[in-house]
Amino acid sequence: MLGSSSSADLPLKDQLLHVVGPEVNPIEVAITVAQIIDASVNADQVRREIRNLTEQVPKRNVSDLVASLRLQGFTGERRNLDPVDNSRIDQALRYKTANPITLAMVVIGVARHLEIECHGINFPQHFLAQLNGELIDPLQMEIVTVSDLKSWARSHGIPDTNLFARASNVDIAIRMLNNVFAALEVRTNPLVALTILDYKSLLFPTQTEVLMERARVWLEVGEIGMARELLGEALKSTSRDDIKERIRRRLLSLAPGNETIN
């Protein structure tokens, strides 16, 4: 794992900025995120394994692709990987399990080889793939319906509007980096967490969210002064009143004599 949080020392900076381009195969985003986690990840090996999976699909259609991957054991149900490894495409190919977005990258990688129209869908809490207009739940490796997904969203209190927004490569990179950050034990890996945030910051037009996350890291290691400074920067960087109020409340809780770390 990476151990530096210096934004001037991000060896994969140029690669990340390239792969989030709109014409790049999303599998390259997944490879780059895996290499951010572990620099030894072999990109060519990942690409070969995706091509090998393609050769197992009997016919160039969505149902055969999904059935082939399911038959080969690709789901997110059985094995319990290290939480960070769930965001590694190389580990997904090795163990045939991962989180939804990483499994979706396997689906999309195979679909592109088969020349099936495909892209990711930023469904809340559960990334999906869409192939030739059909929605795929990569965790269960099955075709799902819009009505079922809308019902699920309503049952979880999520408005059923804009549920099926197409994910750009930037969206995919941010969501994968968010998963890595969420999976880290920040208190024991603060430099790794800060490095992930440095990469994430390359993809944001405004830095409010990243500044707030950096403040969280410093709070985890007891550096309240640094956290206050970062929250102050975040307050200046946003024009949204709701976010300003959240930051002000957090700053108030960290005022001298009233420090609360949680």
Q: How confident is the model at residue 36 (pLDDT cuts 50, 70, 90)?
A: very high
**Phi then psi for 136, rounded to 5 degrees?**
-120, 125
The confidence band for 118, taking pLDDT boundaries of 50, 70 and 90, is very high
Task: Please tell me the pTM assigned to this model.
Answer: 0.91
Confidence at residue 177, expressed as pLDDT on a 0 to 100 scale: 97
CA 200 to chain centre: 10
Output the six-digit token pair for 64.
């055969």
Separation between Cα atoms, residue 172 and residue 33, nearest integer Å: 10
Q: What's the CA gap between 231 and 221, in Å, rounded?
A: 16
DSSP assignment of 86-133: GG-HHHHHHHS---HHHHHHHHHHHHHHTT--EEEE--TTS-EEEETT
- 4 has pLDDT over 50: no
Domain ranges of the chain: 13-167, 204-253
Task: Look at 159 and 87; give whichever has higher pLDDT.
Answer: 87
Give CATH for domain 204-253: 1.20.58
The DSSP secondary-structure symbol of 85 reads G
Question: For 233, phi and psi rounded to 5 degrees?
Answer: -65, -40
Q: Which residues pair with 131 in a beta bridge?
A: 118, 134
Letter for the amino acid at 90? D
- The pLDDT score that the predictor gives to residue 74 is 93
